[in-house]
Structure 1
Amino acid sequence: MEDTGIGLWGVPLAILAGAIRVSTPFIFVSLGESMTERSGRINLGLEGTLVFGAMTAYAVAVMTGSPWLGVLAAMAAGAVFGLIHGWICKFPKVNDIAIGIAMMQFGLGLAFFLGKSFIQPVAPRLPSIPLGGWSDLPQIQSALNINVLFVIGALLAVALWWAFRNTRVGLILRVVGDSSDAARAMGLNPDTVRLLATAAGGSFAAVGGAYLSLYYPGSWNEGISSGQGLMAVALVIFARWNPIGCFLAALLFGGAGALGPALQSVGVTQGYYLFYAAPYVLTLAILVATSSPTRSLAGAPGALSITK
């Protein structure tokens, strides 16, 4: 092994830093999907929304010089994708999952078509908070250089957890997600609630894409996403539709994704690349562990299609 200055301590440190960096898109996509699924709708199109959000954020940041305007533009684009998805799904006999897959392909294709001219220009990056200034070691300073969106995602997870339990909006989402008939009996329109929830979920997912293009890895290209949008659906099921659980599960996924680079950082030159598959293996394991023909998913909204 090569001498990195802090020895084997570099492995957990690199995993911590990687977990924070890699988990941020998962946090926003999973929080958005948890909101959508709480209303009784599943959106498999978030991979396309994520990539289109990444392209939109990068393009707007290049043209305006402001990464935050890029994030806002990505949120607007994600909301539009969510509105389209929700509007189509309100028609009778339309399958949420099939529409989600179609929207995913539409988002990917549109992003690649419109984003070709923005592959070369360099966009301004989102700011970060240096929490490692107390140490003289550059490894620690780098590990504790926390992006602002990660902090916002953590606060948002707590806020959504509280809102689901203690606000009228949270009650409406839970009622609509559990039973369309009960919602109608209360004077609610399930289609409208699900439309708005899907739009909000798409907006959140697009923020995850903005993080990818404007901070880590911090560029726009057609291979910017590695399936985070789809894996986030498994993450939401694993977290049992709990926003704080989504945040913690995102950190777990992020740590799994950082394992290979962490081993490489301390000089492991053989076999480390096998650990790059850890997030995908973890996704498969979660899907297998949560699948059962005899028992229902704990905490699942009753109207959600995957529970029927």
Structure 2
Amino acid sequence: MDPVDIGLWGVPLAILAGAIRVSTPFLFVSLGECLTERSGRINLGLEGTLIFGAMSGYAIAYETGSPFLGVAAAALAGVVFGLFHGWVCKFKGVNDIAIGIALMLLGTGLAFFFGKPYIQPVAPKLPSISLGGWSDVPQVQAALQVNVLFLFGAVLAVFLWWMFRATRVGLVIRVVGDSSDAARAMGLNADRVRLLSTAAGGAFAGIAGAYLSLYYPGSWNEGVSSGQGLMAVALVIFARWNPINCFWAALLFGGAGALGPALQSVGVSEGYYLFFAAPYVLTLGLLIATSSPERAMQGAPAELSITK
């Protein structure tokens, strides 16, 4: 089917399509960080987990021929990183921010080392679902090609929101995140809760990495993450530790990332590469906007290192 000239409508359409594609790794990493931080621990190592997940997911998908096994392997790698992070942080005097930075460097280094043989080979990609069959316009059909992981991430955001509000597991995580003393008084093992929360958060980051290497951009290379794991920390603060808000914030970040290609699609090429900086400028702007002492930590778990 030949392309149809849809004029300036191509810009919002391209931004919508890009927001759906680009937001998915932001969504999974931010949901993982939200879960981890709600338990009272911050994990800056998710950037390394994401990169290692991208490499391991791509490698397993290539070796087995199954992208879904690649996603499972990436999630498992994230669990291992999360468990190690949680185990180290339980010792007295250990700073979870410092450990997170160390694990970020470790995960990145391991991914670069083990991923060298997989830079050239082509692994099978994750499938997508077409939601644009109602339209005869090829651009609309292409824009509404939605990856299965995006849909899963949207459902996961709703599930986590419900879990925090209406389940015992969510209550336990919130209590541990707000007060270790209160958790101990209730007979809860705060270290174990944080360990499991950090492991689950790591699994989500691993899935985000698999999405990058197996769908968009759909290849493994050493610069595949572009700092998305670190930006997720700012996104969670902006979302006020609410999983539903993480979903909308991820779409906002995704739309910012899609701005450059959207403008290029209608012939705006001047300063094209500057638009690639939009997500980073947005991150900086959000950090500045939320830096007020009265608002910055509103809704934050009291046990977080950044609140003390």
Question: Do Structure 1 and Structure 2 share a fold, with TM-score over 0.5?
Answer: yes
Map 1:42-53; keep pairs closer than 5 Å. Answer: 42-53=42-53
1:18 alignment partner in structure 2? 18
Match of 1:100 in 2: 100
User: For the Cα contact (< 8 Å) 2:82–2:198, is it kept in 1?
Assistant: yes
Matched to 1:170, the amino acid is G
| 1: CA distance, partners of 2:199 / 2:22 | 24
Q: How does 1:176-215 map to 2 (within 5 A)?
A: 176-215=176-215
Per the TM alignment, residue 297 of structure 1 is displaced from its structure 2 partner at its CA by: 1.4
**Worse-matched range after superposition: 118-127 or 37-46:** 118-127
Identity among equivalent positions (%) equals 79
Q: Distance in 2 between matches of 1:158 and 1:150?
A: 13
Query: Shift of residue 153 of structure 1?
Result: 0.3
The aligned amino acid for 1:57 is G
Counterparts of 1:291 and 1:206, CA distance in 2: 29
How far residue 272 of structure 1 moved from its aligned partner, in angstroms, is: 2.8
SS in structure 1 at match of 2:129: strand
**Contact (CA 8 Å) 1:19, 1:254: kept in 2 or not?**
yes
Pairs within 5 Å for 1:114-125: 114-125=114-125
Q: Distance in 2 between matches of 1:175 and 1:34?
A: 15
Partner amino acid for 2:59? A
Q: Residue 115 of structure 1 aligns to a residue in which SS?
A: helix
Amino acid at match of 2:10: G
Instruction: Tell me which residue corresponds to 1:144.
Output: 144
1:175 counterpart residue number = 175
Question: How far apart are 1:293 and its partner, in Å?
Answer: 4.0
1:266-285 to structure 2, matched below 5 A, reads 266-285=266-285
Q: Quick one: which amino acid aligns to residue 149 of structure 2?
A: L
Any idea what the Cα deviations from partners look like across 1:249-284, whole Å, max 9, x if unmatched?
Answer: 000000001001100011112123222111001101
Partner of 2:61: 61
In 2, the alpha carbon distance for the partners of 1:108 and 1:266 equals: 37
Cα distance in structure 1, aligned partners of 2:95 and 2:200: 20
Letter in 2 for 1:176: V
- Pick which of 75-84 and 128-137 moved more: 128-137
TM-score between both structures, scaled by the size of structure 1: 0.97
* Other-structure match for 2:306: 306
How far 1:292 moved relative to its partner?
A: 3.0
2: CA distance between counterparts of 1:235 and 1:37?
12
In the alignment, the residues of structure 2 paired with residue 251 and residue 13 of structure 1 have an alpha-carbon distance, to the nearest angstrom, of: 14
Partner Cα distance (1:294, 1:140) in 2: 44
Q: Does 1:89 align with 2:89?
A: yes
For 1:283 and 1:205, the matched residues in 2 are separated by 19
- Aligned equivalents of 2:103, 2:290: Cα separation in 1: 26
Aligned to 2:32: 32
The two structures have a TM-score, normalised by structure 2, of 0.97
Paired residue for 1:111?
A: 111
Secondary structure in 2 aligned to 1:299? coil
Deviation at 1:291? 1.6
Contact 1:18 1:254 in 2 (8 A): yes
SS in 1 for 2:146: strand
Letter in 1 for 2:275: F
| Cα distance in 2, alignment partners of residues 250 and 83 from structure 1 | 25
Runs of at least 5 residues in structure 1 that lack an aligned partner in the other structure: none
Residue ranges of structure 2 left out of the alignment (5+ in a row): none
Task: Report what 1:126 is aligned to.
Answer: 126
Could you tell me how far apart the structure 2 residues matched to 1:173 and 1:134 are? Answer: 43
Task: Say if 1:82 and 1:203, in contact at 8 Å, map to a contact too.
Answer: yes
Question: Aligned to 2:218, what secondary structure does the other structure show?
Answer: coil
Q: CA deviation at 1:121?
A: 1.0
Secondary structure of the residue aligned to 1:129 is strand
Give distance in 2, aligned partners of 1:111 and 1:97: 21
Shift of 1:295: 5.6
Aligned-pair CA distance for 1:135: 1.7
Residue pair 1:74, 1:206 contacting (<8 A) in 2 also? yes
Query: What amino acid sits opposite 2:25 in the alignment?
Result: P
Contact 1:33 1:43 in 2 (8 A): yes
Q: Once the 2 structures are TM-superposed, how far is the Cα of residue 136 of structure 1 from its aligned partner?
A: 1.9
Distance in 1 (CA, whole Å) between partners of 2:274 and 2:287 is: 21
